[in-house]
Amino acid sequence: MATSGLLFPGTGNELCQPGRAAATVAVMSTQQNTYDVLVLGGGAAGLSAALVLSRAQRTVAVVDAGLPRNAPAARMHGFLSRDGMPPRDLPAVGRAEVASYGGVVLPGTVAQVGRTTTGFDGLLADGTRLTARRLLVATGLVDELPDLPGVRGRFGRDVLHCPYCHGFEVRASKVGVLGGAPNSFHQVQLVRQWAGDVVFFSNGSLLTVEQREQREQLVARAIGVVDGQVTGLDVQDDRLCGVLVEGAGLVRRDAVFVAPTFVPSSNLLTELGCQVDDNGWPLVDKTGQTTVPGVWAAGNAVNPRAQVITAAGDGSAAAIALNNDLVEQDVRDAVVLFRLGMPV
Protein backbone atom coordinates (compact mmCIF):
# COMPACT_ATOMS: atom_id res chain seq x y z
CA MET A 1 0.00 0.00 0.00
CA ALA A 2 1.19 3.57 -0.68
CA THR A 3 2.77 5.34 2.24
CA SER A 4 1.60 8.91 2.16
CA GLY A 5 -0.48 11.45 0.30
CA LEU A 6 -3.78 11.54 -1.45
CA LEU A 7 -5.08 8.20 -2.59
CA PHE A 8 -8.57 9.16 -3.75
CA PRO A 9 -8.47 8.99 -7.54
CA GLY A 10 -9.04 12.19 -9.52
CA THR A 11 -10.03 14.43 -6.63
CA GLY A 12 -7.89 17.47 -6.87
CA ASN A 13 -4.23 16.77 -6.26
CA GLU A 14 -3.80 19.93 -8.28
CA LEU A 15 -5.26 21.89 -5.36
CA CYS A 16 -2.20 21.16 -3.20
CA GLN A 17 -0.19 24.34 -2.83
CA PRO A 18 3.40 24.03 -3.97
CA GLY A 19 5.91 24.54 -1.23
CA ARG A 20 4.03 22.70 1.47
CA ALA A 21 6.39 19.85 2.18
CA ALA A 22 4.91 16.63 3.44
CA ALA A 23 6.42 15.96 6.85
CA THR A 24 9.23 13.42 6.61
CA VAL A 25 8.13 11.99 9.90
CA ALA A 26 4.78 11.11 8.31
CA VAL A 27 6.45 9.10 5.58
CA MET A 28 8.68 7.25 8.04
CA SER A 29 5.83 6.35 10.30
CA THR A 30 3.28 5.44 7.69
CA GLN A 31 5.59 2.85 6.19
CA GLN A 32 4.50 0.61 9.03
CA ASN A 33 0.83 1.66 8.75
CA THR A 34 1.26 3.24 12.18
CA TYR A 35 0.10 6.77 12.89
CA ASP A 36 -0.38 9.21 15.72
CA VAL A 37 -4.07 9.49 14.83
CA LEU A 38 -6.42 7.34 12.80
CA VAL A 39 -9.46 9.28 11.60
CA LEU A 40 -12.49 7.21 10.67
CA GLY A 41 -14.65 9.07 8.16
CA GLY A 42 -13.48 11.82 5.80
CA GLY A 43 -16.39 14.26 5.66
CA ALA A 44 -16.22 17.83 6.95
CA ALA A 45 -15.55 16.72 10.55
CA GLY A 46 -12.89 14.11 9.87
CA LEU A 47 -10.97 16.10 7.26
CA SER A 48 -11.04 19.27 9.31
CA ALA A 49 -9.53 17.33 12.23
CA ALA A 50 -6.95 15.74 9.94
CA LEU A 51 -5.91 19.14 8.57
CA VAL A 52 -5.30 20.53 12.06
CA LEU A 53 -3.42 17.39 13.13
CA SER A 54 -1.25 17.12 10.03
CA ARG A 55 -0.32 20.82 10.37
CA ALA A 56 0.66 19.99 13.97
CA GLN A 57 3.06 17.50 12.38
CA ARG A 58 1.18 14.50 13.66
CA THR A 59 1.10 11.47 11.43
CA VAL A 60 -2.52 11.05 10.38
CA ALA A 61 -4.48 8.56 8.29
CA VAL A 62 -8.06 9.25 7.27
CA VAL A 63 -10.13 6.31 6.02
CA ASP A 64 -13.25 7.35 4.17
CA ALA A 65 -16.04 5.37 2.53
CA GLY A 66 -16.78 8.39 0.31
CA LEU A 67 -20.47 8.91 1.06
CA PRO A 68 -20.93 12.28 2.77
CA ARG A 69 -24.46 12.66 4.07
CA ASN A 70 -25.33 15.64 1.87
CA ALA A 71 -24.09 13.95 -1.34
CA PRO A 72 -27.60 13.68 -2.90
CA ALA A 73 -28.00 17.47 -2.88
CA ALA A 74 -26.84 19.56 -5.86
CA ARG A 75 -25.53 22.40 -3.67
CA MET A 76 -24.32 22.95 -0.13
CA HIS A 77 -25.59 26.08 1.59
CA GLY A 78 -24.88 28.07 4.73
CA PHE A 79 -21.12 27.48 4.88
CA LEU A 80 -19.57 30.93 4.95
CA SER A 81 -17.32 31.38 1.90
CA ARG A 82 -18.51 28.06 0.39
CA ASP A 83 -22.22 28.75 -0.09
CA GLY A 84 -23.53 26.99 -3.21
CA MET A 85 -20.55 24.64 -3.58
CA PRO A 86 -21.41 21.11 -4.84
CA PRO A 87 -21.27 18.91 -1.70
CA ARG A 88 -18.54 16.57 -2.92
CA ASP A 89 -16.20 19.46 -3.76
CA LEU A 90 -15.63 20.30 -0.09
CA PRO A 91 -14.13 16.92 0.86
CA ALA A 92 -12.17 16.88 -2.41
CA VAL A 93 -10.50 20.19 -1.49
CA GLY A 94 -10.10 18.96 2.11
CA ARG A 95 -8.37 15.74 1.03
CA ALA A 96 -5.90 17.70 -1.08
CA GLU A 97 -5.16 20.08 1.80
CA VAL A 98 -4.60 17.21 4.24
CA ALA A 99 -2.35 15.41 1.74
CA SER A 100 -0.32 18.57 1.17
CA TYR A 101 0.79 18.42 4.83
CA GLY A 102 1.67 14.73 4.65
CA GLY A 103 -1.64 13.31 5.88
CA VAL A 104 -2.73 10.04 4.29
CA VAL A 105 -6.29 9.81 2.95
CA LEU A 106 -7.42 6.31 2.07
CA PRO A 107 -10.65 5.32 0.32
CA GLY A 108 -12.19 2.40 2.18
CA THR A 109 -14.43 1.27 4.98
CA VAL A 110 -13.28 0.57 8.49
CA ALA A 111 -14.98 -2.69 9.42
CA GLN A 112 -13.61 -3.16 12.91
CA VAL A 113 -11.63 -1.32 15.57
CA GLY A 114 -9.86 -2.60 18.66
CA ARG A 115 -7.31 -1.73 21.29
CA THR A 116 -3.61 -2.55 21.20
CA THR A 117 -0.98 -2.25 23.93
CA THR A 118 -0.01 1.20 22.65
CA GLY A 119 -3.33 2.48 21.33
CA PHE A 120 -5.81 1.28 18.75
CA ASP A 121 -6.07 -0.51 15.46
CA GLY A 122 -8.55 -0.38 12.62
CA LEU A 123 -9.25 -3.17 10.17
CA LEU A 124 -10.44 -2.07 6.74
CA ALA A 125 -12.90 -4.11 4.70
CA ASP A 126 -10.06 -4.92 2.25
CA GLY A 127 -7.99 -6.46 5.06
CA THR A 128 -5.58 -3.54 5.57
CA ARG A 129 -4.75 -3.00 9.24
CA LEU A 130 -3.76 0.43 10.56
CA THR A 131 -2.60 1.23 14.06
CA ALA A 132 -2.57 4.55 15.88
CA ARG A 133 -2.02 6.13 19.27
CA ARG A 134 -5.41 7.85 19.17
CA LEU A 135 -8.71 7.46 17.30
CA LEU A 136 -11.09 10.07 15.98
CA VAL A 137 -14.46 8.80 14.78
CA ALA A 138 -16.30 11.05 12.30
CA THR A 139 -18.50 8.55 10.50
CA GLY A 140 -21.62 10.74 10.30
CA LEU A 141 -25.21 9.56 10.63
CA VAL A 142 -27.88 7.79 8.61
CA ASP A 143 -31.17 9.49 7.73
CA GLU A 144 -33.99 6.96 8.15
CA LEU A 145 -36.71 8.24 5.85
CA PRO A 146 -40.48 7.65 5.91
CA ASP A 147 -41.17 4.40 4.07
CA LEU A 148 -43.29 5.86 1.26
CA PRO A 149 -42.95 5.36 -2.49
CA GLY A 150 -40.89 8.17 -4.04
CA VAL A 151 -39.30 9.55 -0.89
CA ARG A 152 -35.89 7.84 -0.94
CA GLY A 153 -35.21 8.54 -4.63
CA ARG A 154 -35.99 12.25 -4.33
CA PHE A 155 -34.22 12.90 -1.00
CA GLY A 156 -31.88 15.88 -1.23
CA ARG A 157 -33.49 17.01 -4.49
CA ASP A 158 -37.15 17.93 -4.00
CA VAL A 159 -37.69 15.88 -0.84
CA LEU A 160 -35.88 17.87 1.83
CA HIS A 161 -35.46 17.84 5.57
CA CYS A 162 -33.60 21.01 6.56
CA PRO A 163 -34.94 24.47 5.72
CA TYR A 164 -31.60 26.03 6.74
CA CYS A 165 -29.96 23.98 3.98
CA HIS A 166 -32.53 24.36 1.19
CA GLY A 167 -35.46 26.50 2.43
CA PHE A 168 -34.27 29.59 0.57
CA GLU A 169 -34.15 27.68 -2.72
CA VAL A 170 -37.83 26.66 -2.44
CA ARG A 171 -39.18 29.87 -0.86
CA ALA A 172 -41.30 30.71 -3.90
CA SER A 173 -42.44 27.11 -4.55
CA LYS A 174 -45.49 25.12 -3.54
CA VAL A 175 -44.15 23.38 -0.45
CA GLY A 176 -45.53 20.47 1.54
CA VAL A 177 -44.58 19.15 4.97
CA LEU A 178 -45.23 15.52 5.75
CA GLY A 179 -46.77 15.01 9.20
CA GLY A 180 -46.56 11.98 11.43
CA ALA A 181 -43.13 12.43 13.04
CA PRO A 182 -42.72 13.74 16.60
CA ASN A 183 -41.31 17.10 15.39
CA SER A 184 -43.57 17.59 12.35
CA PHE A 185 -45.56 20.48 13.87
CA HIS A 186 -42.38 22.34 14.69
CA GLN A 187 -40.96 21.59 11.24
CA VAL A 188 -43.98 22.95 9.37
CA GLN A 189 -43.98 26.19 11.38
CA LEU A 190 -40.26 26.52 10.70
CA VAL A 191 -40.65 25.94 6.97
CA ARG A 192 -43.33 28.66 6.92
CA GLN A 193 -40.55 31.14 7.78
CA TRP A 194 -39.14 30.55 4.30
CA ALA A 195 -42.14 29.72 2.12
CA GLY A 196 -45.49 31.42 1.71
CA ASP A 197 -47.37 28.51 0.13
CA VAL A 198 -47.15 25.67 2.63
CA VAL A 199 -49.46 22.67 3.05
CA PHE A 200 -49.26 20.34 6.05
CA PHE A 201 -50.11 16.72 5.27
CA SER A 202 -51.41 15.60 8.64
CA ASN A 203 -51.02 11.92 7.75
CA GLY A 204 -53.42 11.05 10.56
CA SER A 205 -51.72 13.28 13.14
CA LEU A 206 -54.35 16.01 13.57
CA LEU A 207 -57.36 13.95 14.47
CA THR A 208 -57.62 14.19 18.25
CA VAL A 209 -59.35 16.94 20.25
CA GLU A 210 -56.00 17.81 21.91
CA GLN A 211 -54.56 18.64 18.53
CA ARG A 212 -57.17 21.37 17.96
CA GLU A 213 -54.67 23.93 19.20
CA GLN A 214 -52.06 22.81 16.70
CA ARG A 215 -54.60 23.02 13.89
CA GLU A 216 -55.43 26.56 14.96
CA GLN A 217 -51.72 27.48 14.90
CA LEU A 218 -51.46 26.18 11.35
CA VAL A 219 -54.52 28.06 10.14
CA ALA A 220 -53.36 31.23 11.93
CA ARG A 221 -50.18 31.28 9.80
CA ALA A 222 -52.03 30.49 6.55
CA ILE A 223 -50.67 26.94 6.37
CA GLY A 224 -53.01 24.67 4.44
CA VAL A 225 -53.99 21.36 6.02
CA VAL A 226 -54.73 18.16 4.10
CA ASP A 227 -55.98 15.29 6.21
CA GLY A 228 -55.82 11.64 5.26
CA GLN A 229 -53.09 9.08 4.93
CA VAL A 230 -50.27 9.88 2.54
CA THR A 231 -49.68 6.94 0.19
CA GLY A 232 -46.68 8.21 -1.76
CA LEU A 233 -45.22 10.91 -3.95
CA ASP A 234 -46.05 11.42 -7.61
CA VAL A 235 -42.86 11.81 -9.64
CA GLN A 236 -42.95 12.50 -13.38
CA ASP A 237 -40.03 13.20 -15.73
CA ASP A 238 -37.54 13.22 -12.86
CA ARG A 239 -39.55 15.90 -10.99
CA LEU A 240 -41.85 15.85 -7.99
CA CYS A 241 -45.43 16.62 -9.03
CA GLY A 242 -47.15 16.27 -5.71
CA VAL A 243 -48.29 14.20 -2.77
CA LEU A 244 -50.76 11.32 -3.08
CA VAL A 245 -53.30 11.30 -0.27
CA GLU A 246 -55.98 8.70 0.44
CA GLY A 247 -59.35 10.29 -0.28
CA ALA A 248 -57.84 13.52 -1.68
CA GLY A 249 -55.85 12.21 -4.63
CA LEU A 250 -52.90 14.22 -5.92
CA VAL A 251 -52.09 17.46 -4.13
CA ARG A 252 -49.65 19.39 -6.32
CA ARG A 253 -46.40 20.39 -4.59
CA ASP A 254 -42.95 21.27 -5.95
CA ALA A 255 -41.05 20.28 -2.81
CA VAL A 256 -41.83 18.28 0.31
CA PHE A 257 -40.13 18.38 3.69
CA VAL A 258 -39.92 15.17 5.71
CA ALA A 259 -38.55 14.49 9.19
CA PRO A 260 -36.06 11.61 9.05
CA THR A 261 -35.00 9.70 12.13
CA PHE A 262 -31.30 10.41 12.66
CA VAL A 263 -29.31 7.27 13.48
CA PRO A 264 -25.66 7.79 14.48
CA SER A 265 -23.09 5.71 12.57
CA SER A 266 -21.50 4.89 15.88
CA ASN A 267 -21.10 1.11 15.87
CA LEU A 268 -17.29 1.47 15.85
CA LEU A 269 -17.51 3.61 18.99
CA THR A 270 -19.77 1.18 20.82
CA GLU A 271 -17.46 -1.67 19.78
CA LEU A 272 -14.72 0.10 21.73
CA GLY A 273 -16.98 0.40 24.79
CA CYS A 274 -17.88 4.09 24.42
CA GLN A 275 -21.02 4.89 26.41
CA VAL A 276 -24.16 6.16 24.70
CA ASP A 277 -27.20 8.07 25.99
CA ASP A 278 -30.74 6.67 26.19
CA ASN A 279 -31.28 7.40 22.49
CA GLY A 280 -28.10 5.70 21.37
CA TRP A 281 -25.99 8.86 20.88
CA PRO A 282 -22.36 8.50 22.03
CA LEU A 283 -21.52 10.56 25.12
CA VAL A 284 -18.76 13.12 24.52
CA ASP A 285 -17.41 16.13 26.42
CA LYS A 286 -17.25 19.57 24.83
CA THR A 287 -14.03 18.68 23.00
CA GLY A 288 -15.51 15.48 21.55
CA GLN A 289 -13.72 13.11 23.92
CA THR A 290 -15.73 9.93 24.44
CA THR A 291 -15.91 7.92 27.65
CA VAL A 292 -13.01 5.76 26.41
CA PRO A 293 -9.62 7.47 26.93
CA GLY A 294 -7.84 8.12 23.64
CA VAL A 295 -11.03 8.06 21.55
CA TRP A 296 -12.60 11.26 20.21
CA ALA A 297 -15.65 11.73 18.00
CA ALA A 298 -16.94 14.69 15.97
CA GLY A 299 -19.65 15.80 13.58
CA ASN A 300 -22.93 14.00 12.91
CA ALA A 301 -21.64 10.77 14.47
CA VAL A 302 -22.25 12.39 17.85
CA ASN A 303 -24.27 15.50 17.06
CA PRO A 304 -27.37 15.28 14.83
CA ARG A 305 -27.67 19.09 14.76
CA ALA A 306 -24.24 19.65 13.20
CA GLN A 307 -24.35 21.43 9.84
CA VAL A 308 -21.31 21.16 7.57
CA ILE A 309 -19.69 24.23 9.10
CA THR A 310 -20.30 23.07 12.68
CA ALA A 311 -19.14 19.52 11.88
CA ALA A 312 -15.90 21.04 10.55
CA GLY A 313 -15.62 23.17 13.70
CA ASP A 314 -16.22 20.15 15.94
CA GLY A 315 -13.52 18.24 14.06
CA SER A 316 -11.06 21.08 14.54
CA ALA A 317 -11.85 21.36 18.27
CA ALA A 318 -11.46 17.61 18.74
CA ALA A 319 -8.11 17.67 16.91
CA ILE A 320 -6.77 20.41 19.19
CA ALA A 321 -7.83 18.52 22.34
CA LEU A 322 -6.46 15.29 20.94
CA ASN A 323 -3.10 16.90 20.10
CA ASN A 324 -2.90 18.30 23.67
CA ASP A 325 -3.46 14.78 24.95
CA LEU A 326 -0.64 13.49 22.73
CA VAL A 327 1.69 16.29 23.89
CA GLU A 328 1.01 15.29 27.52
CA GLN A 329 1.91 11.71 26.67
CA ASP A 330 5.02 12.86 24.79
CA VAL A 331 6.14 14.76 27.91
CA ARG A 332 5.63 11.71 30.14
CA ASP A 333 7.53 9.49 27.69
CA ALA A 334 10.37 12.03 27.36
CA VAL A 335 10.80 12.26 31.14
CA VAL A 336 11.06 8.47 31.39
CA LEU A 337 13.77 8.43 28.70
CA PHE A 338 15.51 11.43 30.23
CA ARG A 339 15.73 9.70 33.60
CA LEU A 340 17.22 6.69 31.86
CA GLY A 341 19.88 8.97 30.41
CA MET A 342 18.37 8.83 26.93
CA PRO A 343 17.04 12.35 26.21
CA VAL A 344 14.93 12.64 23.02
227 binds ligand FAD (CB under 6 A): no
66 binds ligand FAD (CB under 6 A): yes
Strand partners, 297: 137
Q: Cα separation of 285 and 272, whole Å? A: 17
Q: For the window 112-151, what string marks contact with ligand FAD as x by the rule CB under 6 A?
A: --------------------------xxx--x--------
290 binds ligand FAD (CB under 6 A): no
73 binds ligand FAD (CB under 6 A): yes
Q: CB-wise, 23 or 130, nearer to ligand FAD?
A: 130
307 binds ligand FAD (CB under 6 A): yes
Q: Cα separation of 199 and 149, whole Å? A: 19
Q: Which of the ranges 7-15, 92-100, 154-162, 239-247 carries the binding residues for ligand FAD, by CB under 6 A?
A: 154-162
**150, 156, 167, 282: which one binds ligand FAD (CB under 6 A):** 156
179 binds ligand FAD (CB under 6 A): no
Q: Which of the ranges 184-192, 211-219, 274-282, 302-310 carries the binding residues for ligand FAD, by CB under 6 A?
A: 302-310
**77, 95, 133, 134: which one binds ligand FAD (CB under 6 A):** 77
Q: Residue type at 252?
A: R
To the nearest whole angstrom, how small is the minimum distance from the Cβ of residue 286 to ligand FAD? Answer: 17
165 binds ligand FAD (CB under 6 A): yes
Q: Which of the ranges 4-12, 31-39, 74-82, 336-344 carries the binding residues for ligand FAD, by CB under 6 A?
A: 74-82
43 binds ligand FAD (CB under 6 A): yes
Binding site for ligand FAD (CB under 6 A): 40-46, 63-70, 72-73, 76-79, 109-110, 138-140, 143, 155-156, 162, 165, 265, 299-300, 306-309, 311
